[in-house]
A and B are shown apart, each in its own frame.
Chain A
Amino acid sequence: MLYDIFIGPFVQMVEMPDFFLQVLWEGFVAGILYALIALGFVLIFKASGVFNFAQGIMVVFAGLTLVGFYESGVPALLALLLTIGVMGALAYGIERFVMRPLVNQPDIILLMATIGLTYFLIGLGEFVFGGEPKRMIAEELGLPTGSTAIEMGERGLVILQHIDIAAAVIAILMVTALGIFFNKTRIGRALRAVADDHQAALSVGISLNQIWAIVWFAAGLVALATGIMWGARSDVSFALEIVAFKALPVLILGGFTSIPGAIIGGLIIGFGEKIGEIYWGGLVGGGIESWLAYIIALIFLLFRPQGLFGERIIERV
């Protein structure tokens, strides 16, 4: 028993490096996708202090809208543009009708409002697009769909799906773009000012309403990219919603306010989950993927209650 826990898995890793690498790659891809969802959370949390529970459903909603437009006969790229437009309208609507009336309320009330928003979007999505899973139009959007097998000498081979590589590249591009946006542009600086202090930002003439709409729109774009990537790997369906819960440990690991934190947190969770499931999951009957992420986050939190990259929590009485 002790052997199975402490030695067996490592022996297995060394004996079958190709399999181990495959597991690592799976973990990497899962981590990137978790990180993408977490990124949407971080954007909104940074700028408005709202923990946006609806991010998961926004991913589904964006994916469904894209597929929905395509199925009604619109060319793929135009459908993409139209979906971006829909996400913009959604961002404006959320800012106008949910966030603005609730300004300055306690965190938990805002959290509740986003959960209410989740219900609304679930209902709306199912009402407009139906509840069945849909196939993502990955090929039509020009994303690669094949796979490459890399041979590892005589030890076997590792299979890389092209769509996963594309996901990784897009995630890296997106993080870089967001980094530049936050640090170099006028709006990005305004966003950081709002994140630091709402009142001070207002007093130097930054429009909070405008900033929030922009931030929700950016989160919508991240959701769209995530929706395409997740959708290409499985189908676009409301089951993706559960993935949003996975973003929670990712966020907590990385700290709510840190963009690099979201990426690194995502990778830790992705790797930990896949390796744990494959090498240790069998000992307890499998399926531990559903909760391992939370336990990993919990262990990290016990040592660093503010997450790996979060700002230090200082409490005054």
Chain B
Amino acid sequence: MQGFFYKMNELLKELYQEIILDHGKEPRNFGECETHNKSAHGHNPLCGDKVSLTLFIDDDDFIKDIKFSGEGCAISVASASLMTEKLKGKKLSYAENMFKDFTDLVKGSEDSLSTIDEDDSLYALKGVKDFPMRVKCATLAWHTFKNALKD
């Protein structure tokens, strides 16, 4: 019995790691890029979480600047914040691989990750896999990023 209670507490601790609570409370890259050439709004109509993303992508397909604004739960805000940190300076092709790796990670399949490893800040969101209803919170910013690329 003790073990189970311990495990439940662990699930929550796994979900709400310090870095998630930190980014949830004080998101990085919050706002709008001074100049941007891509943007998108993301919205989770089931729960009302919202994110707006602006990007500046240079001629060589590097993400020179990326910022987000919006409102939502700690998971969705922290995920957006961590995403902007990771994507800044990355080439688009690499970023798209990251998108795939991240969505795999939060759904619980981490066998073929090429861009995210255990030391990565994004790895902190792995705990979402035990809360299937929260996967959408964690991936909202990433799907918005994908949509912005089509802008």
Bound together: no
- B→A interface (CB under 8 Å): none
- A→B interface (CB under 8 Å): none
